[in-house]
Amino acid sequence: MQQKTEMPTQAEMVEWTTQLQQAGEEYCALISEALGQMMPPGLSEAINEDMREKLQLGAESLMADPARLWQVQSGLVQDQMQLWQHSMRGLAGESVEPLITPSRGDRRFKDDAWSQDPAYSSLMQQYLLFSKTVDELVDGMEGMDPDQQRNLAFYLRQIVSAMSPTNFLATNPEAVRQLVETRGHSLVNGLAQLRHDLSNSVAGGLNVSMTDRSAFEVGRNVAVTPGSIVFENELIQLIQYTPTTEKVFKTPLLMVPPWINKYYILDLREDNSMVKWLVDQGHTVFLISWRNPGPEQGDLTWADYMQMGPIRAIEAIEQATGEKSVNLLSYCVGGTLAASTVAYLTSTRRGRKVKSVTYMTTLQDFRDPGEIGVLLSSPVLDWLDEEMAKTGYLDGRSMAYSFNLLRENDLFWSYYINNYLKGEVPKPFDLLYWNTDSTNLAAAIHGWYLRHMYVENRLVEPGGVELDGVKIDLRKVSAPSYFISTKEDHIAKWNSTYYGALLPKGPVTFVLGGSGHIAGIVNPPHKNKYGYWTNDELPETHEQWLEGAEAHEGSWWPHWQNWMTSNGYADADPKKMVDARQPGDGQLDILEAAPGRYVKVSIPEIIGEAQASP
């Protein structure tokens, strides 16, 4: 017997009306603000120029093979006809197998309605069939070079991802359900959250809230490994961490993190902190905390970052410990700088200052930068140069927005749906807090880095890069090197990082970790996750390396530690171990407690100071 639907009460009707009225007012205000927050005209024109060019090339490729275009289109029409028939049968109550299902890992359609409700199922399949057709057309295009095809695929993927029915209130079953159950409150809350995020975004992109930022504070519950600032200059603060063992390895360890985002990805909390783990293993750990640059740092070059960063830190470590050499442990662009530094020291007869160097997900050979290359077309680079010349830096939120678009469904649209369509409050998550704690990028170094490394790939050329009048050559580096890359990295793809391992003349160990750019590196042993691959040989190609590699379970950290100790780089011989070094014991005084001032400076603070300056 059909259940009778209860009529809403007068109070419920009033609440519904009030909520919808508030939602309407909020929507109008939001659209007005969003229109003024759209992509800056210069950048929009630059990207549109590249997009128009790639779309034109794609159209020419399709028209050159009309038979294939007809075949793909006919296939889509046939699939749509079959889907219509299946939908009619489903609406009639029959159980029908879907024509297409989401790929493994696609979490957009996880709600039961997408598989159990015939209308939603049909909508999902129609979208997936269209998406598959676009992929087939791009994959089969001829007459385009790989970079052009990559750019076209990226632009089309962004368009197709934006068209997903999950991104619209009326066609998202979870959002509709939330709207009904909350009597409109979810929509009002979502629009208010969107207004908030727009007000905290850089012009040209929407930086969606990924976590409850109020739940974290640097130095309170992230970046909490005990230590002290023992040196600082205009660009860095040098942290010396407090030892936890009675004896330590003789050779200190200097960590060189990237300056894109902040160092504490390596020191989030106690149970996943690489810094703490290294200290507990017996290393005397020093770490560079980069300054969040403002206009006054706009002229700093790659050579300045090298001299004021790793080289000055090595000198300070000698003052603190008396040791004339260090082991370097570097990450991402910090690794690219470390490679430049070791090559520079080698060319200036100071190569022995580095006993060994480790590169974590580091590009030295930029032959395949991945989809980041889409954002480096000549028109976009020209626009970046013009904008950075005005301010002295690139607002780090722009970089964060760009990186999110490399995995748009996981790092943009999923939060868009939860925050704005469903009106949910982001949950506390330390990794996402770090991800949204952006840093600016100084104009001179950033523009130089993009052109010399990503576009021209000059670091791999002997003498291709000159620093302070010295032409460097990675092939002359004799310091032992350890490369750790990750299999699913979309920022520093391992099929490019591998070729950096073929450059040094010294002994090289290459290891491939599981997972991606962050999780594959920040992978503490006690979690026993992801695994890694090793191969004693370094064949000519990354494919050959993987074919001969041996798989291992768990974290790569113990493998690295064994590499350091068994080869003598850390001076792990008990006879060579020294008493634990406390910050302030040497010639350097303690300036303040870790994590220090530099890491706590936010972009809004820098912008506010710049705007207040005469």
Domains of the chain: 13-199 (no CATH), 227-395+440-594 (3.40.50.1820)
Q: Is the per-residue pLDDT at 518 higher than 70?
A: yes
Q: What is the pLDDT of residue 187?
A: 87
| pLDDT range class, residue 4, cuts 50, 70, 90 | very low
Least confident stretch, 149-163, 222-236, 351-365: 149-163
Beta bridge partners of residue 270, listed in sequence order: none
| pLDDT range class, residue 609, cuts 50, 70, 90 | low
Taking the C-alpha atoms of residue 107 and residue 101, their distance in angstroms, rounded to an integer, is 12
Q: Report the share of the chain in percent with pLDDT over 70.
A: 90
Q: Is the per-residue pLDDT at 28 higher than 80?
A: no
**Global pTM value:** 0.87
Taking the C-alpha atoms of residue 238 and residue 603, their distance in angstroms, rounded to an integer, is 21
Q: Is the per-residue pLDDT at 223 higher than 70?
A: yes
Q: Is the per-residue pLDDT at 45 higher than 70?
A: no
Q: Is the per-residue pLDDT at 3 higher than 70?
A: no
DSSP state of 218: B
Q: Is the per-residue pLDDT at 438 higher than 90?
A: no
Total residues belonging to the chain: 614
Q: Report the share of the chain in percent with pLDDT over 90.
A: 59
Q: Cα 526 to the chain's mean position, in Å?
A: 24
Average pLDDT, the chain: 88
Mean pLDDT throughout 30-36?
A: 44
Is the Cα dihedral 57, 58, 60, 65 positive or negative?
A: positive
Share in percent of the chain as helix, strand, coil (round to 5): 50, 10, 35
Is the Cα dihedral 223, 225, 229, 230 positive or negative?
A: negative
Q: What is the pLDDT of residue 553?
A: 97
| pLDDT range class, residue 411, cuts 50, 70, 90 | confident
Q: What is the pLDDT of residues 320-366, one digit of tens each?
A: 999 999 999 999 999 999 999 999 999 999 999 999 999 999 999 99
Q: Is the per-residue pLDDT at 541 higher than 90?
A: yes
Residue showing tokens 């100084």: 442
* Active site positions, annotated: 332
114 token code pair: 């997408």
Q: Is the per-residue pLDDT at 41 higher than 70?
A: no
DSSP state of 308: I
Q: Is 127 exposed, middle or buried (0-12, 13-18, 19+ CB in 10 A)?
A: buried
Taking the C-alpha atoms of residue 185 and residue 19, their distance in angstroms, rounded to an integer, is 6
Taking the C-alpha atoms of residue 478 and residue 459, their distance in angstroms, rounded to an integer, is 17
Least confident stretch, 52-61, 236-245, 271-280: 52-61
Mean pLDDT throughout 122-132?
A: 92
CB 109 within 8 A of CB 102: yes
Beta bridge partners of residue 331, listed in sequence order: 360
202 token code pair: 């850089």
Q: Cα 199 to the chain's mean position, in Å?
A: 23
> Cα dihedral angle (402, 407, 413, 419), rounded to 10 degrees?
-80
Cα angle, residue 179 at apex, residues 178 and 181 outer, rounded to 5°? 60
Least confident stretch, 64-68, 271-275, 317-321: 64-68
CA Rg, the chain, in Å?
27
Residue showing tokens 């080289």: 311
Mean pLDDT throughout 16-21?
A: 51
